[in-house]
Structure 1
Amino acid sequence: MSLVFNIEKFIGEKITGRSESLLTKDLNNFHETLSKEIQGKKVLVIGGAGTIGSSYIRALVKYHPAKLVVIDINENGLTELVRDCRSRTEIELPEDFKTYPINFSDKVFYKIFKQEGHFDIVANFAAHKHVRSEKDAYSIEAMIENNVLKAKQLLDFLLQYPPTHFFCVSTDKAANPVNVMGASKKLMEEVILAYSNKLKITTARFANVAFSNGSLLAGFIDRVIKQQPLSCPADVKRFFVSPQESGQICLCACILGESGDVFFPKLEESSMVNFADIVEPYLNELGFELKSCQSEEEAKSSTGEIANGKYPVYFFKSNTSGEKLYEEFYTDTEELDLDKCYNLGIVKNAPRRPIAELENIISEIKTLFQKEHLVKADIVALLNKMLPNFQHIETGVSLDQKM
């Protein structure tokens, strides 16, 4: 096994096919605007320890904010964020920099906000992001609580202390959603759009972030470290961006957008990559030869061959609930601006529900969650009522049932 693996180089050469960031031209074209809006400003990043949040921070600090406060429930993730940023030569954290391992719905968060603010820029990356988080009513309740209810609670609070820029991350899965995670993010978009005439709010939908925390590809690293077999869907294609690009997309959306704008990367369908096509180059990079297996059992029983340079991989046909075999960044009914940015498109003038209507929706959700014997189908039915384009794919199989 090779001890040297340049993950950023691998992503560019084997996954995205880009030698430079997708956002290079846009960052150059809007450098003056980005500098003007960020330099010397106070910034709060919620969920900043994750892959996208931390990448946003690394993109942001190049424009020299005066103050940066980062909130995340992942204490270990915050530790790594600090170590990573302090170890890089190309960026410098502001002198006034603080991290707090807390939930943004905790009482202490509001104390910190009032004491450390007023913030010019607030970016929220706190979210349940995995399709695997919809296996039952309990996990879905937690997901909607985080992605929708807490997001609205934050918006109500920000009305008292409005930032110049507020950003809340979304997902490509919010366009014509087929899983509850995507539906929860679509509902989140509905919430923030309802507030877009009171606050300057933007969001972004984007592709899979290659090797992001908790992703299938990041799992490959853990499996190899532990000398365990790999497992990969044979039939799922995705658009990919690098972690660096994910942060830059969100930064551009946060600063450059008009209120209510939904940003997305301009990516050609031909650039989609099958997960299965990443496996062999990845193993070859580490000095292994791929050994294809027909079952989880065969893959697990073949780990003895790893010492001989052959790595077992089980390729399977995807059959889990809510799994979409393709990605969409926008729907046929959404109005697009494809001219403002070189490699970013913008959904403009998305329909905005009145806040009173959203209040009723939130009330229905809370009432449903008070049921003592809640089942997944009850929540899906309510989401179908609230989001007519939601077409849930239910197979009865979750990712927790797979290797």
Structure 2
Amino acid sequence: MFSEDILKNKNVLSENIKNKNFLVIGGAGTIGSSFIKAALQFKPKKLVVIDTNENGLTELVRDLRSIDGQYIPEEFYTYPLSFDSPAFKKLFIAHGPFDIVANFAAHKHVRSEKDIFSIEALLENNLVKAKGLLDLLVEYPPKHFFCVSTDKAANPVNIMGASKKMMEELIMSYGDKFKVSTARFANVAFSNGSLLEGFLKRIEKNQPLSCPSDVKRFFVAPQESGEICLLACILGKNREIFFPKLDMEKDLVNFADIFPVLLNELGFEPVIFDSDQKARESINLIDQKKYPVYVFKTETSGEKLYEEFYTDSEIFDLDKFNALGVISKKTTYSSSQFSPIFEELYNLLEKKNLEKSDIVTWLKKYIPEFEHIETGISLDKKM
């Protein structure tokens, strides 16, 4: 999908990547590792990858070193740690300066809204740690800083999406210190923790599938997710947000249209149930090449029936690239104005009896378009 844009801009990509020093945060995940593979085509001099997922980093190294002809720089290092740890600052200084810093470490699932403790962890990761990283980069500015966003940041209805919209505002405010850009994009098909990966896990374990009947999403392949982020990081001008040019009418896919195709491909006929209990009790149907699927109408908090990449108030360009649209972001706040805003957040997170409603109120204060959908039911109550 993005091969034409990569080919057209091959020289610019090479000039900005070849022999340059890269730091990739959250590089063991689906998107981060796909970004790394896309960048390695242009032969950076140094690649430093950090992630809290030690097993994921191990697999990243094994994967890269098992691909025939894969370029890997001599200076390739992976570290299993958090980007707000004392060790991170030490390695940042030891390995720097960095030409390109890309951050993929984020809470990205609506499921994180299930309780106040998970919500606090989401805000700490998506906002508190992000600000700490940006402040560190002010001391040692890179040539490019990229941080991944989400389509859920456009007209957000959940705390995760609103936190990423706030993160976008935060990142853009540092555009007077160094070049910043980000990207919103769709569900990454079969990525870690995604519903489609969940389908495969359930089938692997001979367990019934569970699927909403009314949720539509845009999808990109893992490789495409890395290419979007690389193009946004390198080709993006200061304070630009990239998104894939997908059509609301043609490209939105209902999750309920996916599992029949997947099951048929594997030689199964889906059998629909209206309760998870009935689906679990009918797992013996697998022996008859029939597969039980619990299909339900969406009723969980923060769940939007469809996603979008931009809002009516945003200025965007659909002509600059073949497969990408670009939003030119005007800053709402300066980086210094975020200090008192984050003092409010720090004070909130220190409250002993912090409630979800307190977080929603704080986010709505600075993200007025945030219309939280609250039903009292979380995704963890679903199979």
2:352 to 361, 365, 372: 372
SS of equivalent to 2:336? helix
Q: Does 1:137 align with 2:116?
A: yes
Structure 1 CA distance for aligned equivalents of residues 90 and 368 of structure 2? 39
1:228 to 201, 204, 207: 207
SS at match of 1:389: coil
Is there any run of 5+ residues in structure 1 with no aligned partner, and where? 1-21
| 1:106-185 equivalent positions in 2, closer than 5 A | 106-185=85-164
Cα separation, 1, equivalents of 2:117 and 2:239:
31
Which one of 231, 237, 244 corresponds to residue 265 of structure 1? 244
1:12 maps to none
Q: Residue 241 of structure 2 contacts residue 329 of structure 2 at CA under 8 Å; is this kept in 1? A: no
Residue 259 of structure 2 aligns to a residue whose secondary structure is helix
Aligned partners of 1:130, 1:50: CA distance in 2, in Å? 13
Alignment match, 1:313: 293
Tell me, in whole angstroms, the C-alpha distance in 2 between the residues paired with 1:226 and 1:72.
Answer: 28
- Corresponding position: 1:356 with 2:336: yes
Letter in 2 for 1:82: V
The verdict on how the C-alpha distance between 1:310 and 1:90 changes in structure 2, with shifts beyond 3 A counting, is: farther
Give the letter for the 2:252 counterpart.
M
Output aligned runs, 1:245-394, within 5 Å: 245-269=224-248, 270-394=250-374
> What per-residue deviation string (whole Å, max 9, x for no partner) do you get for residues 33-82 of structure 1?
00110011110100000110011011010110111010000011111111
Structure 1 residue corresponding to 2:218, chosen from 239, 243, 247: 239
Question: Does structure 2 conserve the Cα–Cα contact (< 8 Å) formed by 1:137 and 1:379?
Answer: no
Mean Cα displacement is larger for which, 182-191 or 302-311?
A: 302-311
Q: Determine what percentage of the aligned residue pairs are the same residue.
A: 60
Cα displacement (A) at 1:361: 1.0
Provide the rounded CA distance (Å) in 2 between the counterparts of 1:228 and 1:148: 37
Residue type at the aligned position of 1:30: N
Please give the secondary structure, in 2, of the residue aligned with 1:63. coil
CA offset at residue 90 of structure 1? 5.3
- 2:212 is aligned with what amino acid? P
State which drifts further: 39-48 or 76-85.
76-85
Whole-Å Cα distance in 2 between the matches of residues 398 and 92 of structure 1?
44
* Correspondence 1:46-85 to 2 at 5 A: 46-85=25-64
Code of the residue aligned with 1:275 in structure 2: it is F
Q: In structure 2, how many angstroms separate the alpha carbons of the residues matched to 1:321 and 1:393?
A: 5
1:216 aligns with 2:216: no
Opposite residue 313 of structure 2, the aligned amino acid is T
Encode CA deviations 1:218-270: one digit per residue, 9 max, x unaligned: 01111111110000001000111000000000000000011100000100111
Q: Quote the Cα distance in structure 1 between the aligned partners of 2:81 and 2:168.
A: 24
8 Å contact 1:68–1:94 — kept in the other structure? yes
Counterpart residue identity of residue 127, structure 2: V
Cα distance between partner residues in 2 of 1:287 and 1:101: 40
Q: Distance in 1 between matches of 2:29 and 2:67?
A: 18
How far does residue 305 in structure 1 lie from its aligned partner after superposition? 1.3
Which of 373, 380, 383 does residue 400 from structure 1 map onto? 380
Kindly provide the amino acid, as one letter, of the partner of residue 278 in structure 2: E
Structure 1, 243-252 or 339-348: larger mean CA deviation: 339-348
Where structure 2 has 5 or more consecutive residues not aligned to the other structure, the ranges are none
CA offsets 1:313-358 (integer angstroms, 9 cap, x no match):
1111011100011111111111112222111111113333122321
Identify which range, 225-234 or 77-86, moves more after superposition: 77-86
- How far apart, in 1, do the equivalents of 2:273 and 2:62 lie? 39
Q: Within the alignment, does 1:40 sit opposite 2:22 as a pair?
A: no
The answer as to 2:187 corresponding to 1:189 is no
Q: Which amino acid aligns with 2:256?
A: A
TM-score (norm 1): 0.93
Amino acid at match of 1:135: K
Distance in structure 1 (CA, Å) of the matches to 2:59 and 2:94: 25
Please report how far the alpha carbon of residue 91 of structure 1 lies from its aligned counterpart in structure 2 after TM superposition: 2.7
- Give 1:115 deviation, angstroms: 0.8
> Secondary structure of 2:175's match?
coil
Measure the CA separation in 2 of the matches of 1:46 and 1:144.
17
> 1:202 — aligned with what?
181
CA separation in 2, counterparts of 1:328 and 1:350?
19
Aligned residues: 382
Q: Deviations over 1:195-222 (max 9, x none)?
A: 0111100000001110010010001111
1:231 maps to a residue whose letter is S
Instruction: Tell me, yes or no, if the aligned pair for 1:136 and 1:375 is still in contact at 8 Å.
Output: no
Alignment of 1:17-32 (within 5 A): 22-32=1-11
